[in-house]
Amino acid sequence: MLLEFICSNHKSIRGKVLFSTLAGPDSTLEDRIYEADGIRVLKAAVIYGANGSGKSNFIDALSFVKQLVINSINHQPGQGILQVPHKLEGFDKETAYKIQFVIGGIRYAYGLTLRNMLVSSEYLYYFPNNRQTKIFERSGETFSQGSKFRGKFSSCKDVLKPNRLLLSCAANFSSVQEVAEAFRFFSDELVIYGPGIQDNWMKYSLYQMNLNPKIKASAIAFLNGLGTGIKDIKVSIDKKKLESAELPPFLSDEFKAILLKKNVDAVTAKVEYKSFETDLFHEESSGIKKLFAMLSPLVDIMVNGKVLICDELESSLHESLVYGLVKLFMDTKSDKFSQLLFSTHDTGLLNLDLFRRDQIWFTELRNNDRSTDLYSLAEIRNVRKEENFEKGYIDGKYGSIPMLNLDFANIVSKM
């Protein structure tokens, strides 16, 4: 589970912003809070804000850390770390990321800083028996290990570079179980859904439904719970030869000849309703396609207790489907604790049936430097539990919405 994420100097984020899933003292919706070792953790959180206020940039910062942990081991000598700092700070100012999470029942704290597109510092701690224990600390290209881990990272000295994370190197070139667990959080447990990912998820979902009857049954039950009217899906995966007309024209004749000799998977999917069926790829709406693309990964996330981060969850989905999707996620009971963090413009989700005040977050641009501020509804004074959150947000009571220029029509008329 994700407990906390802090970052600074990342795109529109200039000063430090902090996001937390730790529950406050509010007693609302206690059945959706997970408690372990005295820590009360929220199952979901939602981020609202005007266009350009930094919602996507905050999620991008989480995604950036995930990808850097997984892939920095592949960075070549002289290659800088491609990260975008705030316009008023630049690469020569420090960029920092700090994250706390739980995996295998143990809390971890990981952090790194970048300067001039290289790693300037890094640390990894964990908390067995709730006591902070050092795994490693790094400054530049030198590092030290905690007393329990002395000599365990000697194989990393030759592979550690200014553009590589020690966590990535140690996960690949040492056998420290605690490092492997921390790396697994980023590689497997932290799931990011955003633009360009849907096609991969669709393929994964359909293959799982074709091979795993339990996954398929769960997906159909999920769709029924959303009121889609879908009774079944028939997935067929066959082998076929590519036709020359299906290949891009810019390929060389030699490469085309190689591809035309290979067999590829031909996937068909028929969606069955009460009185008819449709072709998923050619006859269904983008919203239904998105639902099918998300189903198997979503079931996997809920069953195995992973963390799903989603930018603009409502894209291509009707607001009632988004509400149903979030409510089902919140209400579904599992042996493992899963979490959902997403950004949205759908104010219909600002509902006491779904969220507590400490689950609702806002992004807003600071007036002095146009940088992103991030804060929760629980931090705003004089907000009552029984208040109409949707109306309060639309009325601008919580900030975070654009101020419209009501004289715009008059200005245009005079042009």
pLDDT in tens, 3-31: 999 999 999 999 999 999 999 988 888 88
> Do residues 354 and 371 make contact, with C-beta atoms less than 8 angstroms apart?
no
> Do residues 115 and 30 make contact, with C-beta atoms less than 8 angstroms apart?
no
The amino acid present at 77, given as its one-letter code, is P
The first and second tokens of residue 261, run together, are 């000799």
The first and second tokens of residue 335, run together, are 């042996």
State the Cα–Cα distance between residues 241 and 256, nearest whole angstrom.
12
The first and second tokens of residue 72, run together, are 């920095």
pLDDT at residue 264 tops 70: no
Residue 221, Cα to own-chain centre: how many angstroms? 25
The first and second tokens of residue 384, run together, are 């009552």
- Which residue in 350, 338, 345 sits closest to 308, CA to CA? 338
Residues 77-136: pLDDT tens digits? 889 999 999 999 999 999 999 999 999 999 999 999 999 999 999 999 999 988 999 999
The first and second tokens of residue 279, run together, are 């072709």
- Which residue in 273, 337, 272, 341 sits closest to 311, CA to CA? 341
Question: 99 pairs with which residues across the strands?
Answer: 5, 110
Residue 393, Cα to own-chain centre: how many angstroms? 24
pTM of the model: 0.85
For the chain, list the domains and their CATH numbers.
1-195+311-403 (3.40.50.300), 198-300 (no CATH)
> Do residues 373 and 339 make contact, with C-beta atoms less than 8 angstroms apart?
no
| Helix, strand, coil % in the chain, rounded to nearest 5 | 35, 25, 35
DSSP 15-73: S-EEEE-B--S--TTGGGEEEETTEEEESEEEEEE-TTSSHHHHHHHHHHHHHHHHHGG
